[in-house]
Amino acid sequence: MIDLLRSTYQNKKVFLTGHTGFKGSWLLAVLNYLGAEVKGFALAPEDEPALFNLLNGNSLCDSVIADINNLPKITEEVKKFQPDFIFHFAAQSIVRKSYEEPINTFTTNAIGTANLLEAIRSLDNECMVVIITTDKVYENRELDYPYKE
């Protein structure tokens, strides 16, 4: 399995939003191990200790600290990098914070994703895009089994 993953990502350009967050940092480490060239695009880590900093994430990628809501900036970075793959993790993912800051949450999660999709339209090449979400988008029914789609 690792050989298949390595043959898929080695020497490929991967644009990773949310690379400073918990899940994004893990994917950054894996992609680095597989030999991918990664450009990260995210806000600075909010919490300390942050996994991104513990991994010395700046040494694993070209890290752009910027807001996904800045359409000109994300378009510039995507177009300049011309990625083969895009993984979109950037989000406001804290449920409690979404109640406290609904406009910021909607802007980041919905408009930020739309900004990334708009930026992708500037590419000269085709690329694979994976948009990550959370199980928190489903109603919690307190069931004893995983969500089914």
Instruction: Calculate the alpha carbon distances from 63 to 49, 60, 133 in Å.
Output: 18, 8, 22
pLDDT per position as a tens digit, 68-124: 999 999 999 999 999 999 999 999 988 899 899 999 999 999 999 999 999 999 999
Q: Which CATH architecture has domain 9-133?
A: 3-Layer(aba) Sandwich (3.40)
* pTM for the predicted model, two decimal places: 0.91
Token representation of residue 127:
């690329």
Domain boundaries, the chain: 9-133
pLDDT per position as a tens digit, 21-73: 999 999 999 999 999 999 999 999 988 899 999 999 999 999 999 999 999 99
